[in-house]
Amino acid sequence: MKILIVGAGLSGAVIGRALAEAGHQITIIDSRPHLAGNCHTERCPETGVMVHVYGPHIFHTDDAEVWDYVNRFATFRPYENRVKSTVGGQVYSLPINLHTINQFFGRTFRPDEARAFVETEQADHSITNPQSFEEQALRMVGRHLYEAFLKGYTEKQWGCSPADLPASILKRLPLRFTYDDNYFSHVFQGMPEQGYSAMVERILDHPGIDLHLNTPYEAAMAGRAEHLIWSGPLDGYYGERLGRLGYRTLDFERFASPDTEDWQGCAVMNYGDADVAWTRITEHKHFAPWERHDGTVCYREYARECGPGDIPYYPIRLVKEKALLGEYEALAAAEKDVSFVGRLGTYRYIDMDVTIREALDMAAQFVVARPGTTRNIAKG
Q: Tens-digit pLDDT profile for the chain (380 aa)?
A: 999 999 999 999 999 999 999 999 999 999 999 999 999 999 999 999 999 999 999 999 999 999 999 999 999 999 999 999 999 999 999 999 999 999 999 999 999 999 999 999 999 999 999 999 999 999 999 999 999 999 999 999 999 999 999 998 887 788 999 999 999 999 999 999 999 999 999 999 999 999 999 999 999 999 999 999 999 999 999 999 999 999 999 999 999 888 889 999 999 999 999 999 999 999 999 999 999 999 999 999 999 999 999 999 999 989 899 999 999 999 999 999 999 999 999 999 999 999 999 999 999 999 987 443 334 434 33
Give the pLDDT score at 168: 86
Give the pLDDT score at 377: 39
Give the pLDDT score at 258: 85
Distances (CA, A) of 339 to 33, 182, 258, 274, 373: 24, 37, 46, 41, 10
Q: Give the SS3 label for residue 42.
A: strand
Give the pLDDT score at 342: 97
Which residue type does 10 have? L
Is the peptide bond prior to 216 cis by the omega test (within 30 degrees of 0)?
A: no
Q: Across the strands, what pairs with 210?
A: 27
Distances (CA, A) of 1 to 34, 35, 263: 26, 24, 52
Active-site positions read: 172, 176, 248, 280, 301, 349, 351
Phi, psi dihedrals of residue 210, rounded to the nearest 5°: -110, 110
Fold of 2-80+189-241+317-368: Rossmann fold (3.40.50)
What is the domain partition of the chain in residue ranges? 2-80+189-241+317-368, 83-171
Give the pLDDT score at 368: 86
- How does DSSP classify residue 325? H
At CA 237, angle to CA 231 and CA 239, rounded to 5?
Answer: 150
| Interatomic CA distance for residues 377 and 285, integer angstroms | 37
Q: Give the SS3 label for residue 155.
A: helix
Give the pLDDT score at 375: 41
**Rg (the chain; Cα; Å):** 22
